[in-house]
Amino acid sequence: DTEVTQTPKHLVMGMTNKKSLKCEQHMGHRAMYWYKQKAKKPPELMFVYSYEKLSINESVPSRFSPECPNSSLLNLHLHALQPEDSALYLCASSRRGVSLRQGSSGNTIYFGEGSWLTVV
Amino acid sequence: AQRVTQPEKLLSVFKGAPVELKCNYSYSGSPELFWYVQYSRQRLQLLLRHISRESIKGFTADLNKGETSFHLKKPFAQEEDSAMYYCALGPQETSGSRLTFGEGTQLTVNP
């Protein structure tokens, strides 16, 4: 089972709204990721959680706020977004956490179906 | 710095023809290379990773360290292969946490 589940599949929100994207995996993976993907473009890394701690923030604006309540769940809280933030938001997970000291060959990243976000 | 180059944004072939999607990478350490496929409005799916040396849906890819390439090949393309294909590079040292994607190649297989 390589299932990463994301909800909602579609979200339309105003620029003053507060909403959240949710992600769940039950594969025992210790790293979880948020990516942003614009149409016909590759995914861009936003955040990485490793062992439930934020390990990478790719200089993402503070209107995006990630949260990892436990090892299976990852949220992305959205507030005061701009229309240019409209995109597909992908959650992903991988078996091993991020560790610079650890040999890590074969740590494949598995993606969810994504949440289509439209900011109006 | 790590970089992935997919020189063709669009590739169109006829059903039954061979197809090769090119991928070149730049990385000074030990790379891990992946191919992901994204069908229209579906999730990004792992197609191949170089360490497993397997064939999925008839696709194969060989890592050529001398040419720093990881081209994706299929001898006989099918219409259902039409999709966006991304080559990705993940350094072994950081556990694939910073996957670098190429810009992608949109493959269209015509009947």
pLDDT at A101: 46
Confirm or reject contact between A7 and chain B (CB < 8 A). no
CB contact set of B53 (below 8 Å; sequence gap of 6+): none
Question: What parts of chain A have a pLDDT lower than 70?
Answer: 1-2, 98-106
From chain A, pick out residues whose CB is under 8 angstroms from the CB of B103. Answer: 41-42
CB-based contacts of A61, cutoff 8 Å, min separation 6:
none
Contact A109 B99 (CB under 8 A): yes
Nearest CA in chain A to B96: A107
Interface of B with A in 15-74 (CB under 8 A): 32, 34, 36, 42-46, 49, 51-52
The CA distance from B106 to the nearest CA of chain A, in Å, is 9
CATH 2.60.40.10 fits A4-74+82-97+109-119, yes or no: yes
How many other C-beta atoms are found inside a 10 Å radius of the C-beta of residue A78? 20
What are the sequence ranges of the domains in chain A?
4-74+82-97+109-119
Smallest CA–CA distance, residue A63 to chain B, in Å, is: 22
pLDDT at B95: 45
Based on the number of CB atoms within 10 Å of its own CB, is A96 exposed (0-12), middle (13-18) or buried (19 or more)?
buried
Task: Please write the tens of the pLDDT for every residue from B46-104.
Answer: 898 887 777 789 999 988 989 999 999 999 999 999 999 999 987 555 544 678 899 99
C-alpha of A53 from chain center: 14
The CATH code belonging to domain B3-110 is 2.60.40.10
Selected residue of A46, A89, A109 to mutate for chain B interface (largest B Cβ count, 10 A):
A109
What three-state secondary structure class fits B81?
A: helix
Residue B97 has its nearest CB partner, among A42, A56, A113, at A56
Classified as helix, coil or strand, B11 is strand
The tens digit of pLDDT for each residue in A32-65 reads 999 999 988 999 999 999 899 998 898 899 999 9
CB contact under 8 A, A110 and B46: yes
In this complex, how many residue pairs, one in chain A and one in chain B, have their CB atoms less than 8 Å apart? 74
Which tokens go with A107?
């740590």
What pLDDT, on the 0 to 100 scale, is given for residue B94? 53
What pLDDT, on the 0 to 100 scale, is given for residue B101? 92
Domain map (residue ranges) of chain B: 3-110
Calpha distance A66→A62 (Å, rounded): 10
The predicted structure's pLDDT at residue A102 = 47
pLDDT at B92: 55
Tens-digit pLDDT profile for residues B9-51: 999 999 999 999 999 998 877 788 899 999 987 888 889 888 7
